[in-house]
Structure 1
Amino acid sequence: MDSPRGDGVSVRCIETQAGLVIPLEPKDKETNTILFNGLTYKTLVSPHTGRIWLDRNIGAKRVATSSTDSSAYGGYYKFDEANVCPTGFSVPTEAEMTAETVGADVNNTTTAFTSFLKIPAAGSRIPNGVYDYVGFVVYMWTQTAVGFNGYYFYSSDIRAHFAISDTDYNFSVRCIKD
C-alpha cells in the first residue's frame, strides 16, 4: 500500500503572524526592553546557553561599569522575597546559574563582572540590617531551596561556587526568561 507520507522529508516549523516570520530566538545580543518597577531593563542572550537574561540585577539603576559600581548593585532580597522578577521571567535555578557562571569559567569577582552578565560585587545585607562585603563579594540567590535554606551563587576575589544560606539573608537577584 502506498503511503501519502514522503520518505526522507523533514519539516521545520516557524511561528508567523499576519504573514510575517517571527524569529523564535533573538539575533542580537540586546533583544528587547522591559519596563519594570519604574526601571527600563534590556534583555541579553547568553553566549553559553542561548537563554535570555535581564541585563542587570533587579533594582539596579544601570548595568555595572565595574565590579564595585554601587548604582548596579540593585536591591537586596530575602530568599522568600526573591521572586521579584517581571512577568515572564524568574529567579534562575542553581543549574541555570551554574551554566552561566562557574560552568562558563566565572571563577572570581573579576570574571563575574567581565562575563556577559556583568555581575557586580554587591555584597549582602545580613539579618540585623548591616551591609556586609559590599564591593568585595557576589551573593546572588537562585530559586533552588535546600530544606529550609536557599542556594546562592558566591564569588570573591579568589573563587566562585555555590553555597547554602539561611533564608533571612538579603542577596542580589538576577532574572532569566521562563
Structure 2
Amino acid sequence: MDRNLGATQVATSSSDAASFGDLYQWGRLADGHQVRTFAVITTLSSTDVPGNANFIGTSVSPLDWHSPQNDNLWQGVNGINNPCLTGFRIPTQAEFNAEAALFTSQNQAGAFASPLKIPAAGSRRYDNGTNIATNY
C-alpha cells in the first residue's frame, strides 16, 4: 500500500495534507467517524459496531470509544473492525518501532525520508475530537 487510508495521493512532503488520510479511533471500523470533520458525541458505544458516523469523545479513563474496552478489534488481517484493504493490517507496535528505529532521525523529517514516506498526519483529541498535529 503506498498511502494512508483515506489519503488522495502518496506524500510529496511531510506536510502534504492530501496524503494525511483519515483519523481512526483504535479498534473502530470505517463507519465515517474517521473523516476529520465529522461531528463529535460523548455517548460511548456498548457494541463493537457503534451504528453512527460520529467521533466518540470521552474524558473518562481508559479514554476509549467502546465501553467496556475491547482491545481485540484490530487483531491481524481478519480483525472484526479492520479498516485496511483485504490482505493488509495495522502493524503491531513492535513492528512499527522496529521500522522507526531505521529512520535517519527520530522526527518528522526522518519519518518522511524513510521508504514509507510517513507524513505528519495528526490525530484527534480523545475528549472533544479537535484535530491536532503530530510528528508521525
* Cα contact 2:104–2:113 (8 A) shared by 1: no
Q: Tell me the number of residue pairs that the alignment of Structure 1 and Structure 2 aligns.
A: 83
SS at match of 1:95: helix
Q: SS where residue 119 of structure 1 aligns?
A: coil
Which runs of at least 4 in structure 1 moved beyond 3 Å after TM superposition?
103-106
Deviations 1:87-146 (A, max 9, x none): 11100011211222124545110010011100000111113121112xx522xxxxxxxx
Distance in structure 2 (CA, Å) of the matches to 1:73 and 1:63: 9
Structure 2 residue 131 is the aligned partner of structure 1 residue 131: yes
**Letter of the aligned partner of 1:137 in structure 2?**
N
Confirm or deny that 1:55 pairs with 2:2: yes
> Contact conserved, 1:58 with 1:75, CA < 8 A, in 2?
yes
Tell me the C-alpha RMSD between the 2 structures: 1.6
For the 8 Å contact 2:6–2:21, the answer to whether it is kept is yes
Q: Which has the higher strand share?
A: 1
Gaps of 5+ in 2: 29-73, 75-81
Instruction: Tell me the equivalent position of 2:110.
Output: 111
Matching of residues 70-89 of structure 1 within 5 Å: 70-81=17-28, 83-89=82-88
TM-score by length of 2: 0.56
Deviations, residues 12-71 of structure 1 (Å, cap 9, x unaligned) = xxxxxxxxxxxxxxxxxxxxxxxxxxxxxxxxxxxxxxxxxx111111111110110000
Indicate the SS of the match to 1:90.
Answer: coil
SS at match of 1:89: coil
8 Å Cα contact 2:103-2:111 kept in structure 1? no
Look at both structures and tell me which one has the larger radius of gyration over its CA atoms: 1
Does the Cα contact within 8 Å between 1:67 and 1:110 map onto a contact in 2?
A: yes
For normalisation by structure 1, the TM-score amounts to 0.43
Conserved in 2, the CA contact under 8 Å of 1:60 and 1:73? yes
For structure 1, the residue ranges without an aligned partner over 5 or more in a row are: 1-53, 139-178
Contact 2:112-2:119 within 8 A present in 1 as well: yes
